Amino acid sequence: MQAKRVHKEQEGGTIVVCLETDFLIAILRKDEGAIRKLEEFVERGEALTTTPINASELFRGAYLSKNIEENLKAVRGILSRLDLLNFNLVASEIYGRVCTELKKRGCDIGEFDILIASIALAHNERIITRNVKHFSKIGELEVESW
């Protein structure tokens, strides 16, 4: 029995976008282009999400930094404003399929990126990232840059 992707319903049919680690880091670093893109999402009323993998990468970066407490506060602040997508059975199956497809094609994009993509696909969300090279190798995933 194949797991089914179920669209995460938002009130009023709101469009949802999954913010990838590099976009979140750009926001934390006050990158003007990323901030403009974030403002566009907010103006359009798009719901903003991320994955547990992205959150973990942000926390890792904060703990590796020189200003740990300041960066932890910033990471907690940005994550508190986002919905965290679940890594569920559907995402697990998508992960297995995507890994196999990429391996057969000789593509290596990294386990974390495949996990992130699988979670976004399970929730029918597009990803905002600068890492288009990796994520675009997953054909069914909608990838947007800024």
| pLDDT tens digits along 48-81 | 999 999 999 999 999 999 999 999 999 999 999 9
Q: Is the pLDDT of residue 12 over 80?
A: no
Secondary structure of the chain in HEC code, one letter for each residue: CCCCCCCCCCHHHCCEEEECHHHHHHHHCCCHHHHHHHHHHHHCCCEEEECHHHHHHHHHHHHHCCCHHHHHHHHHHHHCCCEECCCCHHHHHHHHHHHHHHHHCCCCCCHHHHHHHHHHHHCCCEEECCCHHHHCCCCCCCEECC
User: All domains of the chain, ordered by start, with CATH?
Assistant: 15-144 (3.40.50.1010)
pLDDT of residue 14: 63
Give the pLDDT mean for 117-141. Answer: 96
Question: Using one digit for the tens of pLDDT, what is the confidence trace for 99-119?
Answer: 999 999 999 899 999 999 999
Average pLDDT, the chain: 91
